[in-house]
Structures are given as C-alpha cells and as structure tokens.
Amino acid sequence: MMNKTIRAAIAAIALALPVFAAAPAQATPLIKLMEKDLGQRRPNGCPSKWCACYMDQILKRAGFDVRGSFRARDFASYGKNTKVAKVGSIMVMRNHVGVVMGKCSNGQVKIISGNYSKKVAVGCYPASKAIAWRDPIKAR
C-alpha cells in the first residue's frame, strides 16, 4: 500500500502534465501512413506549397474524405471540429496543415506534415498558431 506522501506526489505530477487526448482509433492508420513517408519530397501533382495537397493524398490513402484544395487554411472547414491538440486531429494554420502526434519537449504541439523543410517531417508549433482543430471523417 502506498503511503499518503507518495500518492500526493503522484497526483501532483499527474495534474501538472498537459492533457493530450489519446488518438482516436481512426487516426492511428493516418499517422502510421505519414510516418512511412518521413523524409519524402513533394508528391507528383502537388504545387510548390504542398502541405495541403499532401494532406489530401494521405487522407485518401487512409480512407478519409478529402478536402480538395491546395490551400492549408481551407482545412479549417474540413471534417468535424475537435479539441485543441488532440492526437490524430488536424492542426490548421494560415499557411500550414498537419496531424497532431502529441507534444514536443518545449510544450508545443508536435505535428507530422508535408512540406516541413521541403519534406514529410515532424515539427513543433505553438498551439496559438492554429486557426482550427479538425477531426478527419471516413469516406462515404
């Protein structure tokens, strides 16, 4: 049996940790597909600013509806509204879009996306940069 001091310390640590919801089951295949693409360059048929084009391609490969736009900010009306920084959700910024993987060591949101340093990569962004948080929806 734990003593009161240890239980209190564990509770204090748990309360101090930022909350990132667990990945919904449907998001896991999306993140895994993107992880397989790490390091890949711009896909065929995508413009020079290709994060939204890549997002559409990966959504299609994972069996989700696509947005059909080459503009990151257009994803602000895609899918369903969701909680801030939920693992598996889409973080939409004015000029970039990616999928939330968790948090970075500095507390920022960790996303995987296309056209991060001209390749599919993982990056960290302040949550304040988001203009929307969206959940992908299954293709009909």
Please name the fold of domain 19-135: endopeptidase fold (from Nostoc punctiforme) (3.90.1720)
What pLDDT, on a 0 to 100 scale, did the predictor assign at position 65?
A: 92
Rounded to whole angstroms, how far apart are CA atoms 100 and 21? 10
User: Is the whole-model pTM more than 0.85?
Assistant: no
Closest CA to 97 of 62, 61, 63, 58: 58
* Contact present, 37 and 112 (Cβ < 8 Å): no
Q: For each of the chain's 140 residues, which pLDDT tens digit applies?
A: 445 555 444 444 433 334 444 445 555 788 999 999 999 999 999 999 999 999 999 999 999 999 999 999 999 999 999 999 999 999 999 999 999 999 999 999 999 999 999 999 999 999 999 999 999 988 77
Smallest CA-to-CA distance from 43 within 27, 59, 55, 60 is with 55
Name residue 74's amino acid: D
- DSSP, collapsed to helix, strand or coil, labels residue 91 as strand
